[in-house]
Structures are given as structure tokens and as C-alpha cells.
Amino acid sequence: MPWAEECEEGAVWVIMCAAVKYNLRGPALIPRMKTRHRIYYITLFSIVLLGLIATGVFQFWPHSIESSNDWSVEKRSIRDVPVVRLPADSPIPERGDLSCRMHTCFHVYRCGFNPKNKIKVYIYSLKKYVDDSGVPVSNTISREYNELLTAISDSDYYTDDINRACLFVPSIDVLNQNALRIKETAQALAQLSRWDRGTNHLLFNMLPGGPPDYNTALDVPRDRALLAGGGFSTWTYRQGYDVSIPVYSPLSAEVDLPERGPGPRRYFLLSSQTALHPEYREELDALQARHGASVLVLEKCTNLSEGVPAVRKRCHRHQVFDYPQVLQEATFCMVLRGARLGQAVLSDVLRAGCVPVVIADSYILPFSEVLDWKRASVVVPEEKMSDVYSILQSIPQRQIEEMQRQARWFWEAYFQSIKAIALATLQIINDRIYPYAASSYEEWNDPPTVKWGSVSNPLFLPLIPPQSQGFTAIVLTYDRVESLFRVITEVSKVPSLAKLLVVWNNQNKNPPEDSLWPKIRVPLKVVRTAENKLSNRFFPYDEIETEAVLAIDDDIIMLTSDELQFGYEVWREFPDRLVGYPGRLHLWDHEMNKWKYESEWTNEVSMVLTGAAFYHKYFNYLYTYKMPGDIKSWVDAHMNCEDIAMNFLVANVTGKAVIKVTPRKKFKCPECTAIDGLSLDQTHMVERSECINKFASVFGTMPLKVVEHRADPVLYKDDFPEKLKSFPNIGSL
């Protein structure tokens, strides 16, 4: 009732204005003050005093106002909702417009800019509608519709501000068309305050149509309103506008049915529906006759004792079965059309992990806009019903088990409660309005276990980047200028080097003057960092214009130009991997029951050192912004293991192993080996092992992959003239 609201707002406004006026006039009264006005003041004082007392009472008397407020707003009885009388000649909306699409009938402006990309949904307050003679139009509200509106109201979509709403949900319950009077319900819809031909209004209906012809969409004229309907057919469903929803099965809440894993079951095919057309019944009986005990056709029980709910029992001849438990005994379960296309049995079947065999031509399966029903059901044309058994038998067992899992997952995610149905419906509409933020196919369809197990490589397109692009070398340095200059000179000899970037990690010292740097043929840039952190080496600097990055330490002078050029060529063939020189391995230590870092020269490799390694620039972005958990800060704090972290990150996101190139086994120059003693080496190993264990626990898995190969030039160590080889000087161990 918006007029009432406006009225109330008006009242507030008047009082406020009066107060302001009073305040303004106050000082002007003072000069004209006279003794006979004393009464006036006394009166004023007493009013003030009373007002203060009253205020105090309101403020400090706990619960008096709030509780009454609660009572009036939240804890009301449905019997007390306001009654609205609909005049017999009040307007009726047009019939549904079959040509409606989101961009023609939906008023998208209402959804305006929204940083969270969530639509706002308003729910009309509950009214009881009666016709001219006082006869109610329908049941005020059903249990399910109340649950549905509660779910919307509790969700992020809800707003109580009608002016900010993008979608309107009437509180008029049209879940079951049989429970309402069509014309009067339409009139009730038409008088909603923001109806406007039904634009942006969403109706939920699960049981459409009525005898004798059972339309597949709600018969209530609804103009442009969106319909979330159970039992749409291709003739009534407006693709991309309406939403097909399941028919909720009340058994979902009543019965506790624990999950049963996929696998072979007692019956191959089961039919549990009771009201079937005789033609279908004959077909089913014929199936059973042909295939014997693997097919079970259940019927309504005729001779149940008093007090047993017929809904919960099914019979085959004289055998009585519990429903829905019996569904768990079958691999495939029939979902045949009745008068309506949408059947509540679908929900029970999915729940039992039984693969539904849907035989209902032209039926739009629930949420088919986003759910891939091929993965959870078998749709058989009605005229092929007699072949159903052979069709099902041609499905491989592995696929059947996959479908069983998928069926159960669909039920858990989208069928099991009214709330799940309501939220999935709103999410679908939300995805249409904010398509750039929509959930993906995988998010809708993959069960959680699949989501965890699958890897989506961010560089999935197989292509070999052009050689002409070259690579950018990034040298991380602190203060070893002499060594740095040697590295720069050496690296600049590599033909495919496109740019050299020096990351100056020392805040206390300025880099050498421009004139002192070696003169090289490619651009050389120096980036100064704000803090001495190891992660600076993996920052996606804007200066990096090539895809390929060569991370190189300022003391790696032993790599030959051929070796580096070959490394780049290998990276081009494996652009989504880390391509490095010395390889390392992780091992499971059975005694300590944890991971161990291995730098022995083994036959296997699972990591490469990033003292010199090629990789895609995109991984810099991932390292800096998407590194899971606290790994990044942990690495910076320990000043170690940034290379292991990078190996974990790349392996985890791509699911692929590293590529070790050339025989190179270590970076240490021969003259440096004497410096670090055995003990230093051992602490180093312990630290590195700790890193692996730490990262494995943060990632929740061990993403590293072990391989037994390395990449060499095609003619490496072949009996072939050295001068004809592309990379003759490939380096040593």
C-alpha cells in the first residue's frame, strides 16, 4: 500500500516543519514578552516536562516499544493480514506475451549500477484478496510459498526499498493453479502498486494448468511478468526469459534418505508413478514381461491398512515397498509425463541417485538454461518408449555411475528445498542481467569433488609463440654490481633477448650511474623496489612487454649463450611451463612421514631452480596476486624458497610438470664450492624441505609432478658435425 507509506512520510514531514518554524519564530517573541504570558510559559514547561518524562519512559522502559513493534511487524498471524476487496470490474492483465525476451520486456534500468552485481528483489507485503461478495480469491499463502519468500527475504538479493528494487515478487501465491481463481488472481496482480504490465515481476508456479486440457504454463493472465514455472513445454517456454523450475516434492522434507553411492543396483529400471495413462501402463507391463526381474513396475497399493500414508507406499502385485526408499534399489527410474509435464517424482528420483529416464516430449527440464541434463538423465522420445531398455543398456557402466553421482548432486544443489529452488531461480535471472559476472557452466554443473579434482590451465590454447617476440630477462640484484654487470654482458649475447630489466632490491644504496652500465644492444631498465623482498623478482612489471620472462640471479654467469637461447626455444614449445636448468626433486620420507627436498643427481625431476628459468609473464601476475594462503609473505619473511613457491604455483594451476633443459645440474661456479661446508648445506636442505611441507599444506595437495625426462637439442651428443648443430655449446653439468 504505497499511498499509505507516502501519507506517513508526509506526516513526519509536517511535524519536522512545524518544529523548524517554531524554532525560527522563538527569538522574535522575546521583546514582546509580558507578565500575563507567564501562564503560557508554565504550560510550556509542563508540556516540556511531560515530554521529557514520556521520552524517558519510552527510552528506558525496555522492550515496551520494540516488542510491540516486533509483534506488529514480524510476529503476526496470517489471519490478521489486511483484506483487499477486488471490484468485479477491476482490470485484468493481458495474457502472457510469448515474444517476450529480456531485452524487450524486462526493464533493465531498474537494476542500475550495482558494484556487487546482484539484483535487488522486493517482496510485496501479504494481503488477503476477496472478491466483491467477500469470497476469498485463493488460500492466502501456502507453506511452500511462505518458505520461498522467507528464503528470498533472507538472501542477499532482498531489499525492502521498493524504489531500489529490480525485481518484484508478489506475495500472491500461484504455486498451484488449482488452488486459485484465475480471473480474480489476475485482477489482484494487476492492482499491485508497481505492476506496470507485469514488468520485472516474477511469479512462481509449480503446478500449471488444470482440467481438461492442462496448459503447460500458468493460465493466470500475467502480461510481461516472468514466470518461474514447473512443467514448461517448448511451446510455452520463453527461452531466456522464463525460468523452468522443478516441482517441489514435499517428501524431501519429510523423509530422511541417506546418500547411497553409485554402482550396480538390484533393479535396472523402475517405474514408481501411480497415475499413468493406460497406454503407458501397457508399455511398462510389456517391458516387465520382456525383461523380467530387472524391471520393476510399481503401482498404487489397494489394500493398505488404515493410517499408513498411501504416498509412502508402492506395490507390485502383493509386494509392498517403501517409497521413496525403493528408488535407491534401481539404476534407472522412469519419469513419465502425466497430465502435467513437470512431475514431483523427478525430485525423489534424483535424490535416490537413480538416473531419471525422462519420457515427456517437449518438456523443458528444470533449470535447463544452466544445468546440463545430459550428464544426469536420459531423455527418451515418447514414441521410443518400447525401446527404452535397449537404449539404456547401450550406456557404459562408467557413464551410468557418473550420471548417478550427478543426479544426486543436482538434487542436493538445486532441488532439495524450496530455498534451493528459489535461490537458483534468482541466480539465473541475476546471471542474465550481469552476464560478465555470471556463474560458469562448471560452477553450475560440476559436483564439488570434480571441482576439486579438475585443473583449468589458464593457458589452455595450444600455440607456439613466435620467436620474433623474444624474452625479457629480469635480474634481481642487491649490491653485487660487478657480478651483475658480467651477467648482463653474458645474457645480452643471447639472440632472442628483447629487453633487460634489473630489479634493484637495495634501498640503502643507489644503482650505479648510467654511464657505468655495460653497453648492450637491447634496452636496459632499472627498477628500484620499495622493500628488499624476494617476491620482487616475480612482480609483473609493466616494463615486461614480452610473454617470456627469464628470471636470472645476479651471479649466474656460467650459462652459455646457446644454453639460454635453447632454453627460450624450449619455452616456446611449452609456454605454460617452467623451463629451467638444474632440476630438483621432492620425495616422500616414509620414516619422517613428510616431504623431503632432494638435490642429488637423480633420474627424476619435479622442480627447476629459478636462479635461471623461463616462464610466462602471467605467472608473475599469479605469484603476486593469486598465491594461495600466506605463502608469499612467508617466503619474504624467510628469504628463501621463492623458487619452490613458483614451482608449486605453476604446477598447481596447470597440472603439468616442469621442463628441465640441458645437462646442467648446479649453478655454483667451480671456485665457489669450497665456501659452503657440509653443515651449511644440511641446514639449507632442512629449510628447503620445510618449505615443501609448508606449501603442500597450504595448497592442500602436492601439485608437483615427477618426470624422468629433460630437453636437449635434437642432435645433442649425436655423431654429427658440431658446426652443423644449432646449439653446439650447450654447457656442462
Of 36-95, which residues contact another protein (CB under 8 A)? Answer: 41, 44-45, 47-48, 51-52, 54-55, 58-59, 65, 68-69, 72-79
Per the CB < 8 A criterion, the answer to whether 676 and 571 are in contact is no
Q: Indicate which single residue of 193, 319, 449, 729 sits in contact with another protein (rule: CB under 8 A).
A: 449
Q: Which stretch binds another protein (CB under 8 A): 185-193, 486-494, 637-645, 703-711?
A: 703-711
Q: Give the nearest distance from C-beta 390 to another protein in angstroms.
A: 11
Per the CB < 8 A criterion, the answer to whether 232 and 206 are in contact is no
Binding to another protein (CB under 8 A) within 106-145 occurs at: 108-109, 111-114, 117, 123, 125-126, 139, 141-145
Binding to another protein (CB under 8 A) within 422-441 occurs at: 433-438, 440-441
Q: Is 199 in the site for another protein (CB under 8 A)?
A: no
Site string for another protein, 630-649 (x = CB under 8 A): --------------------
For another protein, the closer CB: 397 or 489: 397
Q: Indicate which single residue of 163, 193, 234, 507 sits in contact with another protein (rule: CB under 8 A).
A: 234
Q: Give the nearest distance from C-beta 480 to another protein in angstroms.
A: 30
b/e per residue 342-379 (b: at least 16 CB within 10 A): bbbbbbbbbbbbbbbbbbbeebbbbbebbbebebbbbe
Q: Give the nearest distance from C-beta 77 to another protein in angstroms.
A: 5
DSSP string, 48-98: HHHHHHHHHHHHHSTTHHHHHHHHHHTS--GGGSPEEEPPTTS--PPPP-T
For another protein, the closer CB: 506 or 693: 693
Binding to another protein (CB under 8 A) within 392-411 occurs at: 392, 394-396, 398-399, 402
Grid cell for residue 141: 499463502
For another protein, the closer CB: 357 or 488: 357
For another protein, the closer CB: 232 or 504: 232
Which DSSP category does 296 fall into? E
3-state secondary structure of 553: strand
Binding to another protein (CB under 8 A) within 474-513 occurs at: none
For another protein, the closer CB: 101 or 528: 101
Pairwise CA distance, residues 450 & 441, whole Å? 13
Radius of gyration of the chain (CA): 37
Output the 3-class SS for 237-252. Answer: CCCCCCEECCCCCCHH
Binding to another protein (CB under 8 A) within 556-575 occurs at: 566, 569-570, 573, 575
Q: Give the nearest distance from C-beta 518 to another protein in angstroms.
A: 29
Closest CA to 611 of 459, 491, 466, 509: 491
Q: Give the nearest distance from C-beta 92 to another protein in angstroms.
A: 24
Closest CA to 458 of 310, 625, 590: 625
Q: Angle at Cα 698 formed by Cα 695 and Cα 703, nearest 5°?
A: 60
For another protein, the closer CB: 2 or 512: 2
Q: Give the nearest distance from C-beta 635 to another protein in angstroms.
A: 20
Task: Beginning with the edge strand found earlier in the chain, give each strand of the sheet holding 226-229 in spatial order.
Answer: 202-205, 226-229, 243-244
Q: Indicate which single residue of 133, 303, 515, 593 sits in contact with another protein (rule: CB under 8 A).
A: 593
Binding to another protein (CB under 8 A) within 655-684 occurs at: 655-657, 660-661, 663, 665
β-strand partners of 401: none
Output the 3-class SS for 125-141. Answer: CCCEEECCCCCECECCC
Per the CB < 8 A criterion, the answer to whether 469 and 522 are in contact is no
Pairwise CA distance, residues 606 & 587, whole Å? 9
Q: Is 375 in the site for another protein (CB under 8 A)?
A: yes
For another protein, the closer CB: 130 or 379: 379
Binding to another protein (CB under 8 A) within 333-372 occurs at: 337-340, 343-345, 361-362, 372
Q: Give the nearest distance from C-beta 478 to another protein in angstroms.
A: 30
Q: Give the nearest distance from C-beta 213 to another protein in angstroms.
A: 9
Binding to another protein (CB under 8 A) within 509-538 occurs at: none
Q: Give the nearest distance from C-beta 15 to another protein in angstroms.
A: 6
For another protein, the closer CB: 487 or 579: 579
Q: Is 696 in the site for another protein (CB under 8 A)?
A: yes
3-state secondary structure of 616: strand
Per the CB < 8 A criterion, the answer to whether 219 and 187 are in contact is no
Q: Is 22 in the site for another protein (CB under 8 A)?
A: yes
Q: Is 299 in the site for another protein (CB under 8 A)?
A: no
Q: Give the nearest distance from C-beta 106 to another protein in angstroms.
A: 8
Per the CB < 8 A criterion, the answer to whether 84 and 128 are in contact is yes
Pairwise CA distance, residues 153 & 422, whole Å? 11
Q: Is 13 in the site for another protein (CB under 8 A)?
A: no
Pairwise CA distance, residues 470 & 498, whole Å? 5
Closest CA to 110 of 153, 158, 164, 45: 164
Q: Give the nearest distance from C-beta 356 to another protein in angstroms.
A: 12
For another protein, the closer CB: 50 or 639: 50
| Residue 285: other Cβ atoms inside 10 A | 13
For another protein, the closer CB: 80 or 132: 80
Q: Give the nearest distance from C-beta 675 to another protein in angstroms.
A: 23
Site string for another protein, 154-193 (x = CB under 8 A): x---x-xx-----------x-xx-xx--------------
Pairwise CA distance, residues 348 & 520, whole Å? 73
Q: Indicate which single residue of 310, 637, 672, 686 sits in contact with another protein (rule: CB under 8 A).
A: 310
- Calculated CA dihedral for residues 151, 154, 160, 166, nearest 10 degrees: -60
Who's near 557: CB < 8 A, 6+ residues apart?
A: 483, 486, 487, 490, 669
Q: Is 460 in the site for another protein (CB under 8 A)?
A: yes
Q: Indicate which single residue of 382, 412, 479, 690 sits in contact with another protein (rule: CB under 8 A).
A: 382
Q: Give the nearest distance from C-beta 423 to another protein in angstroms.
A: 14
Question: Which residue's entry shows cell 520485472?
Answer: 200
Binding to another protein (CB under 8 A) within 209-228 occurs at: 211, 214
Provide the pairing of β-strand 579-580 with 612-616: antiparallel
Binding to another protein (CB under 8 A) within 240-269 occurs at: 240, 247-250
Q: Indicate which single residue of 136, 447, 458, 518 sits in contact with another protein (rule: CB under 8 A).
A: 458
Q: Is 705 in the site for another protein (CB under 8 A)?
A: yes
Q: Which stretch binds another protein (CB under 8 A): 307-315, 480-488, 511-519, 630-638?
A: 307-315
| Residue 422: other Cβ atoms inside 10 A | 26
Q: Is 447 in the site for another protein (CB under 8 A)?
A: no
Listed in order, strand segments (DSSP E) in 213-318 are: 226-229, 243-244, 267-271, 295-297, 313-316
- Calculated CA dihedral for residues 81, 82, 84, 85, nearest 10 degrees: 100
Pairwise CA distance, residues 38 & 290, whole Å? 107
Q: Which stretch binds another protein (CB under 8 A): 263-271, 470-478, 641-649, 651-659?
A: 651-659
Q: Give the nearest distance from C-beta 40 to another protein in angstroms.
A: 10
Q: Indicate which single residue of 6, 8, 322, 630 sits in contact with another protein (rule: CB under 8 A).
A: 8
Per the CB < 8 A criterion, the answer to whether 703 and 652 are in contact is yes
Pairwise CA distance, residues 426 & 167, whole Å? 9
3-state secondary structure of 429: helix
Q: From residue 535, how far is each of 214, 334, 344, 531, 618 by CA, in Å?
A: 67, 59, 56, 10, 15
